[in-house]
Amino acid sequence: MSPQTFSTHATGAFSADEDAPEYTAYGQDWSDIAEEAKRLGQQRIVVNMGPQHPSTHGVLRVMLEIEGETVTEARAGIGFLHTGIEKNMEYRTWTQGVTFCTRMDYVQSMFQEVVYCLGIEKLLGITDDIPERANVLRVLMMELTRIGSHLVAIGTGGNEMGATTVMTTAFIAREQTFRVIEMITGLRTNNAYIRPGGVSQDTPDGAVDYIRELMPDVKQRLDELADLQLENPIFKLRLKGIANLNLSSAMALGVTGPMLRSAGLPYDMRKTNPYCGYETYDFQVPTSTDEDAYSRVVLRMEECYESLKIIEQCCDRLDAMEGQPVMVADKKIAWPAQLALGPDGQGNSLDHIQHIMGQSMEALIHHFKLVTEGFPVPAGQVYQQIESPKGVLGVHLVSDGGTKPWRAHFRDPGFNHLQALSILCQGGQVADVVVAIATMDFVLGGVDR
Amino acid sequence: MSDKVSKKDAPKKSPVETAPKKTDIEDSNVDIASAIPDPEGRAPITLINVREGMFSGAGDTSGFGGLTQAVQMPGSSERPYGEWFDGVVDILEELLGDEADAAFEYIVVDRGELTIYVQRDHLLTVMTHLRDDQDLRFEFCLGVSGVHYPDDKGRELHAVYPMHSITHNRHVRIEVAVATEDPHMPSITSVYPANNWHERETWDFFGIIFDGHPSLARIEMPDDWVGHPQRKDYPLGGIPVEYKGATIPSPDTRRQYR
């Protein structure tokens, strides 16, 4: 293929020694292996962790070279969850693409939808035409998802360290955010709710009251989580001063989000490059200078409280903007109908169907063209970045003037964060690897796409 | 590989007899590319696609089967570029000195974003200046995104680097174009270590070889995979699905709008 020769193995070979003994662990037999290694006089062991390890947040393979309990080398191998979403998006209309990109990082699905739609809107030149109510709904959805994503990071992290209660508490709180999201979008996750030009539908009756009803419970669970963890001596021993990443390393490796803020840089896209009207909300960006695993958990907790503040402001605005449009006025871009919930629980808009099937042939043609063909997007390319719970999420979109993307590339923050795994783990204990992975917070669905 | 690309959709028999007869696409490419300026009258630089007819796949019954349309990227911009763009270009030109003319291919301002097309031999120098100069200070390179333009002869593979400056809160796009036959460009991992995996991904998906990368191995696809899946001539794959007696072809072989 090329005159150069590359390392044949994705992560490079640790040893060229053909005679090195190999052990396979099946669980519960670690002492036997250690015994055998001791008999053979082996000091240095290469352990393959994953890909199907419960603490790897998907399917991540970590190759650890250990001496006793100390990790001397750690390498991450990814690609097990690659599903070709970006390639698939090139064969679907711009609107259909939303349902694909939402499935990348399935824990923060709203953020992929938002960044993708913001990119399309920039290509179309309609960024300023998005109705205010749609922007508020986008912010509301993003902040609910941010809480959910952080709770997954904190909860599964606790579970991996042996504290099941942390996980159950976090997931109960996350379920409350899902209740709201489900009420408004119809789905718990992978919603395809954010659409080019706005959002797919307006809130149902009583949605704002429902948010106001549920959020105190989320706050209470967050308090509970803080009480459970932050002053717990075992928790502090496991996390304080562990998996350090200083500012210069973080910058060099393109690490963003809470990882970067834990190293002392108060960098948040919502403040520096506001989108969806974030500049009009009152919230803080928590920052720490401890650069360790503990500070990252604390930052995520604090960010959840800040998100609750933003959600409160969203509720007030939604009340004030009752009845305003949630989709761009341009009928050549806007999705032709909003869904309404029928008595059978299925979404459909009877009024719209009556209109296109019985009254207006032009409306039917318009609907048919827009839904099957989609809308053309002028040729060009844009880059859009937003602050996802995990860090800077970027999208590079290229249009050939057609109704489908020529190229859609997503820059998932976890992809960069995983490169820092070696720095976080090397020189630490084997048990710290799990802490490092848990507090890095990545999801392999987003990393591999 | 590339000689096949422009003919991936073989010309179909037009249902309308008077439809213009398709000429050799290789020739018409050149004509179309130079004949049509972009909407703002700028000289075109990247031929994104040559669209033929209204539909892909079999059976373009629209009567537009003979229609050939070249789609261009927005062309090179003239000074002043606006906002802070002139300043950044000035500083880069000053730092590059005599190299500047050879280093910059085009400078494009479109949709409020600055794109600098850099000649590949000068990429590393440009990137070093972007990172190190105090008035530029692009701390983050947010990866590299490959794009395949099979109809843009001699410049089929593009590598796009989104650069972000935290100090000045600016965003610049650096773009490098190479040919499929010679898909080499320097690795910038020595300047931006964060691009290590991104370059591996772009090698994996597009076959761009980043010279000087410490370990340019596949990252998403299996090690023994053949081909580069994100190229346009690489099929999407998929199997026809049967539903209630009818068969629906896979998405890339399905008849669809262009």
> pLDDT tens-digit profile of B117-173?
998 899 999 999 999 988 888 988 998 999 999 888 888 899 999 999 998 999 999
Under the banding of pLDDT at 50, 70 and 90, the label for residue B1 is: very low
Q: Does B236 sit within 8 Å of A88, measured CB to CB?
A: yes
Do A85 and A449 form a contact (C-beta atoms < 8 A)? yes
- One domain, residues B22 and B95: no
Cα distance between residue A100 and residue B251, in whole Å: 14
Q: Are the Cβ atoms of A6 and B115 closer than 8 angstroms?
A: no
Give tens-digit pLDDT for A299-346. Answer: 999 999 999 999 999 999 999 988 888 888 888 888 887 777 666 666
Q: Are residues B181 and B114 in the same domain?
A: yes
Other beta carbons within 10 angstroms of residue A438's beta carbon come to 26
The answer to whether B236 contacts A6, with C-beta atoms less than 8 Å apart, is: no
**Cross-chain Cβ contact B209/A4 below 8 Å:** yes
pLDDT at position A56:
63
Sequence-distant (6+) residues with CB within 8 A of B39 are: none
Q: Which CATH number belongs to the domain containing residue A102 in this structure?
A: 1.10.645.10
Kindly state whether residues B64 and B83 are assigned to the same domain: no
| Interfacial A residues in 266-295 facing B (CB < 8 Å) | 267, 272-273
Residue A210 in any domain: the answer is: yes
Cβ–Cβ below 8 Å for A380 and B111? yes
Q: Let me know: does B242 contact B44? Beta carbons within 8 Å.
A: no
Say yes or no: A7 contacts chain B, CB-CB below 8 A.
yes
Q: Looking at B46, B74, B102, which one is the last position of a domain?
A: B74
Closest approach of A409 to chain B, Cα-based (Å): 6
Report the first-to-last Cα separation within chain A, whole angstroms.
Answer: 25
Token reading at A164: 């099941």
Residue with tokens 């019954």: B61
What pLDDT does B23 receive?
39
Please state, in angstroms and as integers, the Cα–Cα distance from residue B219 to each residue in A10, A78, A325, B180, B234, following that order. Answer: 6, 7, 44, 21, 18
pLDDT at A111 over 90: yes
Domain end residue (candidates: B25, B54, B74): B74
Q: Which of residues 162-201 of A touch B (CB under 8 A)?
A: none
Instruction: State whether residue A347 sits within 8 Å of chain B by CB.
Output: no
Pairwise CA distance, residues A241 & A299, whole Å:
15
Q: Where does a domain end: B10, B40, B74?
A: B74
Over residues A41-65, the pLDDT tens digits come to 766 777 777 666 665 666 888 888 8
Please name which of A8, A9, A14 lies closest in space to residue A63, comparing C-alpha atoms: A14
A273–chain B nearest CA distance, Å: 8
Judged against a pLDDT cut of 80, whether residue A26 lies above it is answered with no
Percent of chain A with pLDDT over 90: 38
Q: Are B220 and A265 a contacting pair at CB < 8 A? A: no
CB B156 within 8 A of CB B180: yes
Please give the residue that has the higher pLDDT: either B26 or A417.
Answer: A417
A33 vs A44, A48, A418, A434, B238, CA distance in Å?
A: 13, 14, 29, 21, 44
Rounded-to-integer distance, Cα A416 and Cα A430, Å: 22
Q: Which of A79, A88, A122 minimises the CB distance to B111?
A: A122
Nearest Cβ partner for A87 among B141, B145, B230:
B230
**CA distance linking residue A189 with residue A185, whole number of Å:** 9
**B110, B143, B258 member nearest A402 (Cβ):** B258
Contact A385/B142, CB-based, under 8 Å? yes
A409: contact with B, CB 8 A cutoff = yes
Q: Do residue B66 and residue B81 come from a single domain?
A: no
The neighbouring-strand residues paired with B115 are B108, B173
Mutate to test the interface with B, among A80, A89, A382, A396 (most CBs of B within 10 A): A396
- Contact call for B111 and A123, based on CB within 8 A: yes
The stretch A229-247 carries a mean pLDDT of 88
The domain that contains B92 carries what CATH number? 3.30.460.80
**Do B82 and B24 reside in the same domain of the chain?**
no
Please give the residue range of the domain that contains residue B201. 75-258
Residue A11 has pLDDT above 80, yes or no: no
Q: What is the DSSP letter of A358?
A: I
Query: To which residue do tokens 């989709």 refer?
Result: A327
Domain containing A221: what range? 85-333+375-448
Any chain B CB within 8 A of the CB of A385? yes
Same domain, B121 and B173: yes
CB contacts of A253 in chain B (<8 Å) are 193-194
Our separate counts of H helices and E strands in chain B read 6, 12
Residue of B72, B112, B193 lying closest to A253 (CB–CB): B193
Task: Give A205: exposed, middle or buried? Use CB within 10 Å, 0-12, 13-18, 19+.
Answer: exposed
Are residues B63 and B107 both part of a single domain?
A: no
Same domain as B167, residue B218: yes
Distance CA A354, CA A348 (A): 11
Does residue A22 lie in a domain region?
no
Domains held by chain B: number: 2
Mean pLDDT across B49-58: 72
Nearest residue on chain B to A407, judged by CA atoms? B147
Regarding whether B95 and B38 lie in a shared domain, the answer is no
CA B77/CA B109 separation, integer angstroms: 6
Whether residues B196 and B138 fall in one domain: yes
- DSSP secondary structure code for residue B80 in this structure: P
A299 touches chain B (CB under 8 A): no
Give the A window 312-331 contacts with B, CB below 8 Å.
none
Those residues with Cβ within 8 angstroms of residue A234's Cβ, 6 or more apart along the chain or in another chain: none
Q: How confident is the model at residue A137 (pLDDT cuts 50, 70, 90)?
A: very high
Q: Is residue A58 part of a domain?
A: no
The total domain count for chain A is 1
pTM exceeding 0.90:
no
From the candidates A2, A6, A11, which should be mutated to test the interface with B, based on the most B CB atoms within 10 A?
Answer: A6
Query: Within 13 Å and on the Cβ side, how many CA atoms surround B228?
Result: 23
Q: Tell me the pLDDT band of A66, cut-offs 50, 70 and 90.
A: confident
Q: In whole angstroms, what separates CA B91 from the centre of its chain?
A: 26
* Chain A hits for B181, Cβ within 8 Å: none
Taking CA atoms, what residue in B is nearest to A76? B219
Q: Across chain A, what does the average pLDDT equal? A: 85
The alpha-carbon gap from B97 to the nearest alpha carbon of chain A, in Å, equals 27
Confidence of residue A87 (pLDDT cuts 50, 70, 90): very high
Among A419, A394, A368, A401, CA closest to A74: A419
